[in-house]
């Protein structure tokens, strides 16, 4: 009677599904639909489940203002389409910032914060093809410009059927035989896998594009599954020495960046209300490792900071600026990069680092006290982490490239001009590199 169930937070763009919850499903699916499992059957065949249900009986009977206080008190309040859940389907969270569609091949149940799409038997297009269309930037552009009152705070959109129905899907004309399509797509797959896909040489009729997009959507799910399988929690690699590090402090290793004394990072809480570290990043500049940091604080009434520059707690955050420079060897470099980021994220005294400034300690003072583990204690684990991180970065690049290829082919299927593609990408704040790569791929397709 237990079924894995998905919530809205479990559904992400092209991501494999990993349900974290279970639901009691008091029905048996038959040719006649979902048939309620009577109490006597539950008691005899599922005694532990029955014991749990009885412990919640008052709550279950009290649902919907007492309307569930009857002999089927543990049945679902809504019984629509229960037999449909175990079909393969496309899923989306009900509320999302951008398209977050993925595919469920196993027939997993979900709650009302997830919507699903099942294609009818009469529909000739493939689920994975439709998935590539729904995850394309064009759908989000359409929704952002036609959603009206369905766009929520923070740019989130409620993916209700009434708002999705007007979005058209490109007509596919299967002009050549299935066998010939398979032959052409097989060649495209091989070239893609060998990183030898030449878009300028492609002459794909819409049926071939349909099949190839389905393959690329599958690739996106597989690539994301591979990425998800890599453990990038650095604490798991460094072992127990990270809990009480015995190495050098940042204060013993760094030189201050030019102008540091004039920056907010050198202020104390006597100068700025609720001053604390915002975030850190590292860059290499002129052969040195440079730590950049930002500061968060609550501005006073005298500062000209607009409401749009404040978060919901009333904080503003500065830009990342150079704070510390390190002249170190290649072995110490990754230790500082990875461990400092970990310590700032953990804070609370981890590695002697605390995120909040005091009246006598600035953010720089706090960073100076951050204590590294000895390199000899963590070197082997650090090397393994770096190796796995490099593999993850390569997968991320593959995912990005495949996603951009899908975008270009979908734009081409819709018959967009290059100017129209630019309008879509510009409206969605695509970064310059992504924008140029998509436009290049689009231009190569059939001589756009």
**Helix, strand, or coil (residue 293):** strand
Q: What is the rounded distance in angstroms from the CA atom of residue 274 to the CA atom of residue 437?
A: 43
Which parts of the chain sit beneath pLDDT 70? 147-155, 201-203, 446-448
Q: Kindly state whether residues 22 and 74 are assigned to the same domain.
A: yes
Q: Kindly state whether residues 107 and 15 are assigned to the same domain.
A: yes
Number of domains in the chain: 3
Plot region of 348 (φ>0 → left; ψ -120 to 50 → alpha; else → beta): left
Q: Kindly state whether residues 288 and 330 are assigned to the same domain.
A: yes
pLDDT at 151: 64
Q: Kindly state whether residues 240 and 378 are assigned to the same domain.
A: yes
Q: Kindly state whether residues 296 and 334 are assigned to the same domain.
A: yes
In a domain, 76, yes or no: yes
Plot region of 58 (φ>0 → left; ψ -120 to 50 → alpha; else → beta): alpha
Characterize the bridge pairing of strands 2-6 and 321-326.
unpaired
pLDDT at 379: 92
Residue 196 CB-density burial (10 A; 0-12 exposed, 13-18 middle, 19+ buried): exposed
Q: Kindly state whether residues 340 and 399 are assigned to the same domain.
A: no
C-alpha separations of 90 from 11, 142, 316, 423 in Å:
10, 19, 40, 28
pLDDT at 150: 65
Looking at 60, 93, 119, the residue that finishes a domain is 119
**Residue appearing with tokens 């479990």:** 10
pLDDT at 76: 92
Q: What is the rounded distance in angstroms from the CA atom of residue 9 to the CA atom of residue 157?
A: 14
Q: At what angle do helices 137-146 and 418-427 cross, to 10 degrees?
A: 70
pLDDT at 446: 62
pLDDT at 147: 64
Q: What is the CA radius of gyration of the chain?
A: 28
Q: Kindly state whether residues 331 and 321 are assigned to the same domain.
A: yes
Residues ≥6 apart with Cβ < 8 Å to 380: none
In a domain, 429, yes or no: yes
pLDDT at 165: 84
pLDDT at 202: 62
Phi, psi of 241 (to 5 degrees): -65, -20
Q: Kindly state whether residues 42 and 101 are assigned to the same domain.
A: yes
How open is the CA angle 17-23-28, to the nearest 5 degrees? 105
Q: Kindly state whether residues 385 and 291 are assigned to the same domain.
A: no
Which residue range is the domain that position 115 belongs to?
A: 2-119
């Amino acid at each position: 009677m237990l079924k894995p169930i998905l919530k809205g937070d479990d559904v992400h763009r092209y991501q494999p599904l990993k349900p974290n919850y279970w639901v009691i499903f008091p029905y048996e699916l038959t040719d006649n639909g979902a048939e309620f499992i009577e109490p006597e059957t539950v008691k005899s065949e599922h005694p532990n489940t029955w014991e749990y249900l009885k412990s919640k009986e008052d709550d279950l009977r009290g649902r919907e203002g007492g309307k569930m206080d009857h002999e089927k008190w543990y049945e679902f309040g809504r019984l629509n389409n229960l037999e449909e859940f175990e079909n393969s389907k496309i899923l989306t969270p009900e509320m999302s910032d951008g398209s977050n569609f993925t595919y469920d091949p196993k027939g997993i149940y979900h709650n009302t914060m997830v919507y699903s799409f099942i294609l009818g038997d009469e529909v000739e297009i493939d689920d994975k093809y439709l998935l590539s269309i729904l995850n394309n930037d064009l759908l989000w552009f359409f929704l952002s410009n036609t959603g009206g009152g369905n766009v929520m705070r923070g740019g989130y959109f409620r993916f209700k059927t009434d708002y999705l129905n007007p979005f058209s899907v490109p007509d596919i004309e299967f002009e050549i035989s299935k066998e010939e399509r398979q032959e052409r797509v097989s060649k495209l797959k091989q070239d893609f896998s060998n990183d030898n896909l030449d878009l300028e040489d492609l002459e794909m009729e819409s049926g071939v594009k349909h099949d190839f997009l389905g393959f690329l959507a599958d690739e996106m799910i597989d690539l994301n599954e591979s990425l998800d399988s890599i453990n990038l929690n650095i604490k798991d690699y460094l072992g127990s020495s990270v809990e009480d590090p015995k190495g050098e402090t940042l204060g013993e290793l760094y030189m201050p960046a030019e102008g540091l004394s004039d920056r907010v990072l050198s202020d104390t809480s006597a100068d700025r209300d609720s001053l604390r570290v915002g975030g850190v990043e590292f860059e290499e500049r002129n052969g040195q490792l440079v730590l950049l940091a930002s500061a968060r604080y609550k501005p006073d009434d005298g500062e000209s900071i607009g409401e749009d520059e404040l978060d919901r707690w009333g904080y503003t955050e500065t830009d990342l600026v150079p704070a510390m420079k390190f002249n170190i060897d290649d072995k110490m470099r990754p230790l500082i990069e990875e461990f400092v980021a970990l310590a700032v994220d953990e804070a609370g005294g981890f590695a002697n680092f605390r995120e909040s400034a005091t009246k006598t300690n600035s953010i720089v003072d706090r960073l100076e006290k951050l204590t590294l583990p000895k390199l000899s204690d963590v070197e082997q684990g650090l090397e393994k982490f770096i190796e796995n991180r490099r593999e993850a970065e390569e997968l991320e690049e593959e995912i990005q490239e495949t996603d951009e290829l899908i975008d270009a082919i979908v734009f081409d299927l819709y018959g967009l001009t290059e100017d129209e593609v630019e309008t879509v990408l510009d409206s969605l704040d695509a970064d310059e590199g992504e924008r140029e790569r998509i436009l290049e791929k689009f231009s190569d397709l059939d001589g756009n």
